[in-house]
A and B are shown apart, each in its own frame.
Chain A
Amino acid sequence: MKFNINGKTHDAEVDVRTSLLDLCREHLGLTGSKKGCDHGQCGACTMLVDGRRINSCLTLAVMHEDSEIVTIEGLGQVGDLHPMQDAFVRHDGYQCGYCTPGQICSAVGMLGEVEKGWPSHASADLTAVELSDAEISERMSGNLCRCAAYPNIVDAIREVAGKGDRQPVLEAAREIGA
């Protein structure tokens, strides 16, 4: 089977049971994407497939022979970081770092969705999406961080989205009805 990952063609002979995540980690040496729960609950395995963020643990490699796959390694490398990677570093958007590749791939995919005007559960008006902190939290709810670096993750994403500084906590809480 041939796979297009991070702009390169990879050859691999794998069992049809192999998930896209295991293909990358166990067969191609692309260990940036992490296996947390392996059941689509934690988001650590998030990759961009044909431009869409998905849980790579919950799809079979064999189903993606003709997909364009981007992992954290394809977004950027040391010395040539993707703006989202750079923002996570500067805002300290992690502690242990295990969820970080998934967070970053998810955030990049998420901003693409906002760019397309896709609404979220936090959108009062489904036709006029404005990226607030409450929107970022809702849209990133598929990525868990057990170190709870969430405030800094939101800071990093907000900066890349060009949305300025952190909202006052009370204002953000009111927006989500807390």
Chain B
Amino acid sequence: MKPFAYARAGDADQAVAEALAPQARFIAGGTNLLDLMKLQIETPAKLVDITRLPLGGITPRDEGGVSIGALVPNSDLAADPRIIADYEVLSRALLAGASGQLRNKATTGGNLLQRTRCYYFYDTATPCNKREPGSGCSAIGGVNRILAVLGTSEKCIATHPSDMAVAMRALDATIVTQKPDGDRRRIAIGDFYRLPGDTPQIETVLEPGELITAVELPPKVEGARHLYRKVRDRASYAFALVSVAGVVRMDGDVVASASLAFGGLAPMPWRNPAVEAAIVGKPATDANFAAAADALLADAKGQGSNDFKIPLARRTLIASLRELTGK
């Protein structure tokens, strides 16, 4: 690990001020950052410890919904009775990720900012545009079984590894931040992540020194069914090859509302309004589910060893929709 300066912040104002230093990074759970620092993939000059900030609560919002403090650990969030009752897809997604030990440490804010587990991002002996901009992508034409089929670019085909963020995307979460100048922003999760394009090293719209303070969820969808279906190489403790987060409300045999987000397929938790449009207001039939899968995968591009993800995503979506609609 490269040497770094360490500062412990007492409140958000102090944290963002400390983080203005060059190459500073916030640290909370540290489960991903320290892993990457040991491999010298991340080499911050300064760590700002935010674990003492008062951002650990889950509170109801006046306008409905809940506000989840950025430091709420994944395990506490998954087990919270209000989250289980109103946002089961989020509990299910969290419980499908990582291990008990990691969930006890990993935080809500940090989970959103996880880096990809692309083999080449981790292998410092190989080129990687995300790790070393301009060096090239080893995954294209290389071993890419776990990598993306949607939203990729010629520079990067990495997937976003989070399960939690996929559920947050289906739930229309809003990310609340504080900037070094004191300004606060509320960023819809659909606007939070960036596609790789020519700059795969830039993964979110966060500015230098900007701190995630909370994640807000809108009021629950009354009468909806929730599902998080994760397909992976092992029964436990493995990243998603494909995952589906769904919140669907039925009106008789007709799909009244649907929000669907996908993991394992793209550089960000993926959502495409055309997928939902293919089923909303229509009877829950396999033909309509197939149309939703067509919409999801219309632009899908396999890279060789990840070609299997395209039919796998189709089947996983259709199976998920059968379950969500009671078909």
Contact = CB atoms under 8 A, between A and B. Distances in A.
Contacts of A46: 101
Nearest to B99: A142
Contacts of B38: 38-39
Interface in B1-19: 1, 3-6
Nearest to A126: B84
Given A58-B31, A109-B101, A119-B91, 16 more contacts: A15-B3, A16-B6, A39-B35, A40-B31, A52-B104, A58-B34, A62-B49, A63-B27, A106-B100, A106-B101, A120-B95, A127-B81, A127-B84, A141-B99, A143-B99, A177-B235
Given A121-B95, A121-B96, A63 B30 contact: yes
Contacts of A60: 6, 27, 30, 34, 47
Interface in B90-115: 91-92, 95-96, 98-102, 104-105
24 contacts: A16-B4, A16-B47, A17-B3, A39-B35, A52-B105, A53-B100, A54-B101, A58-B30, A59-B105, A60-B47, A63-B27, A63-B49, A106-B101, A109-B101, A113-B100, A116-B79, A118-B78, A119-B78, A121-B92, A141-B100, A141-B237, A142-B99, A142-B237, A178-B235
Contacts of B34: 19, 58-60
Contact of B236 (A15, A17, A59, A141): A141
B33 to A, nearest CB: 9
B210 interface: no
Interface of B: 1, 3-6, 27, 30-31, 34-35, 38, 47, 49, 51, 75, 78-79, 81, 84, 88, 91-92, 95-96, 98-102, 104-105, 235-237
Nearest to B93: A121
Contacts, number: 104
User: Which 6 pairs across A and B sit closest by C-beta, in order of nearness?
Assistant: A142-B99, A141-B236, A118-B79, A141-B237, A16-B6, A121-B95
B246 to A, nearest CB: 16
A62 B99 CA distance: 24
Contacts of A40: 31, 35, 101-102
A55 interface: yes
A161 to B, nearest CB: 15
A84 to B, nearest CB: 15
